[in-house]
Structure 1
Amino acid sequence: MLRRSRRAASDRAGLLEVFGAAAALAIGVIVGGTMLSFAIARKVVTPATRRLTDVEIVGIDRGSQTITLARSFDTVLPGRYGLFVNEAHEYLKIGSVLSASEHTVTRKLLTHVAPGKRIADRATFSGWYFVHPEELHIPYEDVQIDAPVGPCPAWLFPAREGGSGSTWAISVHGRGTTRSEVLRAAPVFRDAGLTSLAVSYRNDGEAGRSSSGRYGLGATEWRDVEAAIEFARSRGATRIVLMGWSMGGAIALQTVLNTAHADVVDSIILESPVVDWRTVLNFQARALHVPAPVAHIVRRQLTLPRWSRVVRAGNAISLNDLDVVSRADELVHPILLMHSDDDGFVPSEASHSLAEARPDLVRLVSYSEARHTKLWNYDEARWRRHILAWLRDRGLGADVS
C-alpha cells in the first residue's frame, strides 16, 4: 500500500511537471507572439528613417556605362528605374535590360559614373526615376500648404500655355516615400492642360510632424490633402483630380469620403493603391511567414485604443473606416484604378473587389508583371495613355496622345 501511494505521488509530480512545462511553453509562445505583434504593428505606423538596401550591385562597367545587378523580380523588369546608392546619398538612373543570366541582370546606366567613382555594392531599387523637379525641364514653383500640422511643402507645376488654370491635379505619394515619387505625373498633367501640385503630408519627413509622429494609414493624413484642396481653390481651382500612389491612394480615398470640399473634386486616379488595409496586412503577414494568430493581434493592436498607445500609433486606427470595399456605396467620385496583379507588396485583390462593387464609378486597368508603384516605369506609354484618356473622357484634358 505504501509503495502504491508513493508511485501515485510520483505520477502526480510527473504530471505536474509536464503540465508546468506545457504551461510555460504556452506562456512563452503567447508572450513571444505578443511581442512580435507589437514590433510588427509599430513598424506599420512608423515612418522609415533609412532606406532598406534590397539589391546587390555585382559590378559596373564604366567604359560601356552598364551595371550588373543580382537578379530579382524587380531588377529584371523592362523599363527605366533608379538605384539609391552610397547609403541613399546618390541616385543612379538605369535603363533597359541588356542581358540576363540565372543570377544576374545587366542594364544600361543612364547616369554617368566616372572612372574612380566609388559605388557601394548594396543599393535600393526604386521606381521614382525623378528625384528633383528640375529634372522634368518644366516650370515649377515651391509653395507651402498651411495644413493642420503646420507648413507642408509642395511643388506647383502650372498648366502649359493655353491650358486651364481652373483644373488642378493633386498628387499624393505613398508610405515611406516623399513627393519625389509623384514627379512622374507632372508632365502628363501639364500636357493635358492641368495645373498640378505634388504635396507632402504629416510625418513624411518633409511636412510637419503630428503629436504621435506616426502614420495614420490615411485616417489622419487626408486632412493635409484637404488643406491642399483649399490651397488650390484659393489659387482659382474649380475642378480637382486627386491622384494617389499606394498609401497615397488610401489617403485620396479617405479625403473624398471625409472632406468638406468633395464638391470640387471631379475624380480620383489611383496607382497600386491600398483600398483595404486588412488585405495588405494579411498579405504581408503571409509573405513574412507570420502566424495567423499573431497577424490577428497586430490588427487588434492598431484598432484598440489601449494597445494603439503601446505601439505608439497615436489614436486607434479604424480598419473598418479604411476598408473602402465595404464602404463602396459611399463613393460618389469616378475612379481610374491602375494595379498590377503581380504587385508584390499591395495585392490587387481589393482593387478588383472595388471595381466589382462599383462598376458604375471604377475603371480598372490591370497590369501583369509590373511591380508595386512601378507601372510608369514598366510601360510609360500605356500609363500616360490611360491617364490622358481618363482626363479627356472627363472633359478635363486636352486631346493629346
Structure 2
Amino acid sequence: MATGSVSGARASRVAGAGAPRSVRLALLGTGVFAGLGVVAGGAFVTAVARKVVTPPAAAAEDLRVFSVTADRITLSSTADSRLPGLYSLWFSHGSGHARLGRVLSSTKVAVTRELLGVDTGLLAPGTRARIGGWFYLGPDSVGLPFSEVSIATPVGAAPAWVIPAAATAPHPGRWMIGVHGRGVQRGETLRAVDTFHEAGYTCLLVSYRNDGEAPASSDGLYALGDTEWEDVDAAMDYARRAGATEIVLMGWSMGGATVLQAATRSRHSGLVRGIVLESPVVDWVAALNHQGKALGVANPFRRGALAVLSRAWGSRLTGQSQPIDLKRLDFVGRSAELTVPILLLHSADDTFVPPEASRALAQLRPDIVTYDEFSVSGHTRLWNLEPERWTRAIHGWLSELAAPTDRTGSSPRRSVTE
C-alpha cells in the first residue's frame, strides 16, 4: 500500500505545474487516501488480533420464553432452540440456569421442550434466554460427592472441583483432569464426570487464567493455550501430591490446545497416560483462518492479524505480555512429538473449529490416535446430542488404555467413522 502512495507522488511531479490545479489536487488526494488506507487497514488488523485474545463478553440472550410449566417450556424458534439433545438454558443475564431435554414440538415460531429442572432463578413467560452446552451447572447436579479445592497456579490460587473415585475403584491413582474451552468455565467439563467416575477415575475440573474464575494474567488476555497450560501443569502437580499415579487429560476446544501443550511441556508429563480431545483446536492458524473467512475478513488482513499475535512488536498493539508461538500450537506439524494414546472426538459439521486438522492428526498418527467423527453435533456439543455414543466411545478407549500397552504408544489404534 505504501508503494501506491509513492506512485501518487511521482505522478504529481510528472504532471508538473502545467497540469490543471484540479488534477494536481486529485493526484495528491490519491496519496492521502492511500495513506489513510494503510492506517485504517492496520487498525482493522489490530482489532481482529485483539478480538482473538480478548475474553468475550456474555453471550446475547436471543430467545424469548413463551410459557413454562413444571415439566415443559415453550421458546422462540431458532436453530439452537430446535437442536435435539440435552442443553443448558441460561436466562436473566446469566444468573438463571435450567436444564432442557428433548424437543416435544416445533413450528417456525415456537419450540416446546422438556424442562428437566431449574437450578437457579425464576423462569417465567417473557424472560430472555439462550441455549448453552453445559447442561450441569455444578458438581452437585451430577449427584456425586465433591470438594472445592484451590490450585496454586503461577497467577494465583485457582478454584477447582475434585470428584473422588468410588471407594471400591480398583486403581485409586487414576485421575482425569478436565480443561474447558474459550469463553466458558469449568462447568463445561461436568459432562464427562459420570463417564470417568464409572471407569474408576478421580476427576479434577480446573479453572485457568482469564476465565472469570481463576485470577487474571498480567495482561488479562488469552494466549490460546501457550501460557494457560501452566495452570494445567499446576493441577497435575496437585493431583500428583494427592496420590495420582497416572493422568488422563481431557480438553474441549481451546482446552484441547491447552492440554496438548501441558502433555508436551509439563514437568509432570510422565504421569500422562492418555489424552481425550473434544472439538479441539489442533492447529490455531487453520482455525483462525477459517473463522476469519467466515466473518468475511480478507486474506491479507488475516495474515496480518496472525503476524500481530505472534510477533514481539505486535504485543504493543494488542496489549499481550508476550507473543503467541503459533507454530508451537500446531500439532499437525508437531504430530511426531506426541507419545501417548489420544481419543479425538470431532463433528463433521463443526463450523467454529472445523475437523480438518483433527482428521490430519489422526491420519498422521494412526498408531496413537483413535478418531471418532460425529455428524451433526456442532462445536463441543457431542455429548449433548449423542450422550450414549459419546460415553461408549470414551469407555471403550479407557478400557483399551487400562490394558497393558507400550507406553510409547506403539499399540495399534483405530479410526472410527460411524
SS at match of 1:309: helix
The answer to whether 1:295 aligns with 2:330 is no
Give the CA deviation at 1:171: 0.4
1:110 partner letter:
L
Give the CA deviation at 1:288: 1.1
Give the CA deviation at 1:392: 0.4
Deviations 1:168-192 (A, max 9, x none): 1000011111111101111111111
The aligned residue for residue 31 of structure 2 is: 23
The aligned residue for residue 99 of structure 1 is: 105
Q: Unmatched 5+ residue regions in structure 2? A: 1-14, 405-418
The aligned residue for residue 275 of structure 1 is: 282
The aligned residue for residue 132 of structure 2 is: 126
Shift of the 376–349 alpha-carbon distance from structure 1 to 2, 3 Å rule, reads: same
Give the CA deviation at 1:121: 4.8
Shift of the 239–68 alpha-carbon distance from structure 1 to 2, 3 Å rule, reads: same
1:316 partner letter:
P
The aligned residue for residue 169 of structure 1 is: 176
The aligned residue for residue 382 of structure 1 is: 389
The aligned residue for residue 324 of structure 2 is: 317
The aligned residue for residue 46 of structure 1 is: 54
Q: Is the 8 A contact 2:165 2:200 kept in 1?
A: yes
Give the CA deviation at 1:33: 2.2
Find 1:246's aligned residue among 238, 249, 253. Answer: 253
The answer to whether 1:214 aligns with 2:221 is yes
2:73 partner letter:
T
2:42 partner letter:
T
Deviations 1:1-52 (A, max 9, x none): xxxxxx985645444333333333333332222212222211211123x311
Deviations 1:355-401 (A, max 9, x none): 1111111111101111111111010001100011110011179xxxx
Deviations 1:95-140 (A, max 9, x none): 11122234543322223599x9546553232000111111111011
Q: Is the 8 A contact 2:86 2:102 kept in 1?
A: yes
Find 1:90's aligned residue among 96, 101, 104. Answer: 96
The aligned residue for residue 4 of structure 1 is: none
Structure having greater relative contact order (Cα 8 Å, sep ≥ 6): 1
Q: Is the 8 A contact 1:55 1:70 kept in 2?
A: no
Superposition TM-score, scaled by structure 1 size = 0.91
Superposition TM-score, scaled by structure 2 size = 0.88
Give the CA deviation at 1:246: 0.5
The aligned residue for residue 3 of structure 1 is: none
Return structure 1 stretches of 4+ with deviation > 6 angstroms: none
SS at match of 1:211: coil
Q: Is the 8 A contact 1:62 1:113 kept in 2?
A: no
SS at match of 1:204: coil
The answer to whether 1:77 aligns with 2:83 is yes
Q: Unmatched 5+ residue regions in structure 1? A: 1-6
User: Alpha carbon RMSD of aligned pairs, Å?
Assistant: 2.2
Give the CA deviation at 1:60: 2.1
Give the CA deviation at 1:90: 0.4
Shift of the 8–208 alpha-carbon distance from structure 1 to 2, 3 Å rule, reads: closer
1:196 partner letter:
C
Aligned mates of 1:33, 1:233 — CA distance in 2: 49
